[in-house]
Structure 1
Amino acid sequence: MPVSNNMLKTVLTVLYTFLLGLGCCFTTLPLLAQSGWTKVKTEGFYQLGYNHFSSDAYFTLDGEELKTNDFTQNSLVFYGEYGVTDKFTVIANWPLQVWNGFSSTETVSGLGDLRLELKHALLKKHLPLSIAIAPEIPIGKANNFAQSKLNDFESINLPSGDGEFNIWTTLATSFSLPNAPLYVNLFGTYNFRTQYDGISFSDQIGLGIELGYKIADLVWVNSRINALTSVDDIEVITDFVRGDGTEYTSYSFGAAVPVYRNIHLSLNYRNYADFIFERRNIYSAGTFSFGVYYVRKIEKP
């Protein structure tokens, strides 16, 4: 049967829309560094950070790399920790604004989902060990359509939030050397996912390690490896803009320097590889981040 122009146009439109939508599989809330330590009562850490990501390399559910239009995401994120007691810390991670767009679409923006973490110290002295429960509250824009620059009648959903309520449960431990400014954090996490608009998502398992060292008693540097995999074997992208079936291994390098009293400047670079879990259902490239943070310490008598 000959292919009509209208049928061909429809097929191309669907393919174009599919490739555009894949970009939202890059999440604004990657696995964070976790530690076994909790804050001392009333102590705090507050950071405002800016992240920039751009990529045309999409990895399918089969791990195959595809080249698409450039997808760019920028985000302004607040992160804070507060010691309610010496053993209980409240943590907030909230993208205050997320900008998403392809080179072939307009850029759309919106509030991101709020991750509110409740962290409790199981052990404090010899080997700090903590457990944390972190609900991710879907207050961001689950539907945020960007208009195509190529065809006025086409648009694609580039949400700033995934519309899904999920809960991260994390077990973390840390240790430091008594006579050297060196620390190590290890953690494992389980993400219990639910559904959005009648579509259920696979749970996820994550793990990570972080090493930090203070140079000249002034500059903290760190390196991290994070990895994420899906519990279920996802064969079909049921809703590709929500990141179902996303897997990756990421590595990052960062530094923090004091600028005035308890105010610091932080810089970080993060990218992806395949040495623990292969990249699947994700755009892959480097993310550049910088931020300013304030540390509130309690003066010892």
Structure 2
Amino acid sequence: MKNLKFLQIAALFFVVQEVDGQSGWTKSKGEGFFQTSFSTFNSKDYFTLEGEKLLTNRFHQQSIVFYGEYGVTDKFTVIANLPLQNFNGFETTETVSGLGDLRLEFKHSLLKKFLPLAISVAPEIPTGRANNFANSIVNDFERINLPSGDGEFNVWTTLATSFALGDFPFYGSLFGSYNYRTQYDGISFSDQMAVGVEFGYKFFDKVWVNARLNGLTSVDEITEVTDFVRGDGTEYTSYSIGASVPVYKEFHLNLNYRNFNDLLFQRKNIYSGGVFTLGIYYNLKPTAE
């Protein structure tokens, strides 16, 4: 299967498991946000551990993801991120699918009024299929592992701050994260660090538009192939723009486009291309006591 020996697949890592836009705000008690989204991605551009660009058979991924936030108290929010189904394949293989890894995030407000600041701890539980082989449609004796989850237990710790300009519909957020990684099947992985910034503005008192810049890098320098399937040594800079519009009462439609470059961190061990996401979300308002 041409070029598949290079591709024990990092691409699923960045489409589904990226650290989402983080903020210094927590939900009020009883307040919630619940979204179901569909993402699609395909690319022939693979960047090696040395940052070299290779053209390969086209890889594609589609994902259906549930994301929810709920305010347990005014200062404590519980967040869940679960890929309900990941679909992975190359143009020369069948498409295989499976449940992704569940990420649970526990977020606590450190400062809430003048400069919102929050810390969160998010264990990622390996609920996905760590081994999910796709058969070649060209040579029936060849196959490649396209897992729907990375098979390891890891923990993200994030510190985030935000600001808003009073009645002016503009906000900004800045965050830094550390991902403590463990191992899968006897192979240990490098920890990771992520940074990000986001700005948003509300047009016509209805449409929120936001822009993000994120970066991910490995703590250790990975110079040899260990296990591409698990995203070890993956680095990148990503940028995105999104918009949300109300459709009915507290239901909103969310659109997002994301892509990658080398602005903060050079692309390594990653497929690079545009990711399109369409979501519908519901804002739960707290009930009056």
- Show structure 1 runs of 5+ residues with no match: 1-12
Does the CA contact (< 8 Å) of 1:20 and 1:69 recur in 2? no
Partner secondary structure for residue 241 of structure 1: helix
Instruction: Kindly provide the CA deviation profile for residues 35-60 of structure 1, in whole angstroms up to 9, marking residues without a partner as x.
Output: 00000001100000000000000001
Corresponding position of 2:232 = 244
Provide the rounded CA distance (Å) in 1 between the counterparts of 2:206 and 2:12. 38
2:85 aligned with 1:88, yes or no?
no
Give the corresponding residue for 1:205: 193
Deviates more, 1:265-274 or 1:19-28: 19-28
Structure-2 separation of matches of 1:213 and 1:133:
28
2:66 to 78, 99, 111: 78
| 2:9–2:230 CA contact under 8 A, matched in 1 | no
Q: 2:251 matched to 1:263?
A: yes
CA distances 1:185-231 after superposition (whole Å, capped 9, x unpaired): 10000000000000000000000000010001000000000000000
What are the within-5 Å matches in structure 2 for residues 96-175 of structure 1? Answer: 96-175=84-163
Q: Deviations over 1:107-147 (max 9, x none)?
A: 00000000000000001111100000000000100000000
Query: TM-score normalized by structure 2?
Result: 0.97
Does residue 21 (structure 1) correspond to residue 8 (structure 2)? The answer is yes
Q: Which residue among 284, 289, 292 is the counterpart of 2:277?
A: 289
Q: Secondary structure at the match of 1:93?
A: strand
Q: Which of 41, 58, 62 is the aligned partner of 1:53?
A: 41
Query: Aligned residue for 2:29?
Result: 41
Query: How far apart in 2 are the matches of 1:95 and 1:294?
Result: 18
Q: Distance in 1 between matches of 2:141 and 2:263?
A: 42
Mapped to 1, the partners of 2:30 and 2:274 lie a distance apart of: 36
| Counterpart-to-counterpart distance in 2, 1:24 and 1:295 | 31
Aligned length: 288
Matched, 1:278 2:266: yes
The residue correspondences of 1:160-239 to structure 2 (distance < 5 A) are: 160-239=148-227
* Alpha-carbon distance, 1:237 to partner: 1.6
Q: Which has the larger radius of gyration?
A: 1
Q: C-alpha distance in 1, partners of 2:20/2:50?
A: 26
1:40–1:210 CA distance, 2 compared to 1 (3 A): same
Instruction: Normalising by structure 1, report the TM-score.
Output: 0.93
Contact 1:22 1:58 in 2 (8 A): no
User: How far is 1:299 from its partner?
Assistant: 5.6
Tell me how far apart the structure 2 counterparts of residues 74 and 298 of structure 1 sit (CA, whole Å): 34
Q: Mark the CA change 1:84 to 1:299 in structure 2 (over 3 Å): closer, same or farther.
A: closer
- The Cα RMSD (Å) is 1.2
Deviation string for 1:48-91 (max 9, x for gaps)?
00000000000011111000000000000000000000000000
C-alpha displacement of 1:248 = 0.3
Q: Aligned pair 1:62/2:50, yes or no?
A: yes
d(CA) in 1 for partners of 2:218, 2:269: 11
Is the 1:36–1:172 contact (alpha carbons within 8 Å) kept by the matching residues of 2?
yes
Q: Post-superposition, which runs of at least 4 consecutive aligned residues in structure 1 deviate over 3 A?
A: 22-27
The sequence identity of aligned pairs, in percent, is 65
Structure-2 separation of matches of 1:253 and 1:185: 15
- 1:24 Cα deviation after fit: 4.1
SS of 2:8's equivalent in the other structure is helix
User: Per the alignment, in what secondary structure is the counterpart of residue 141 of structure 1?
Assistant: coil
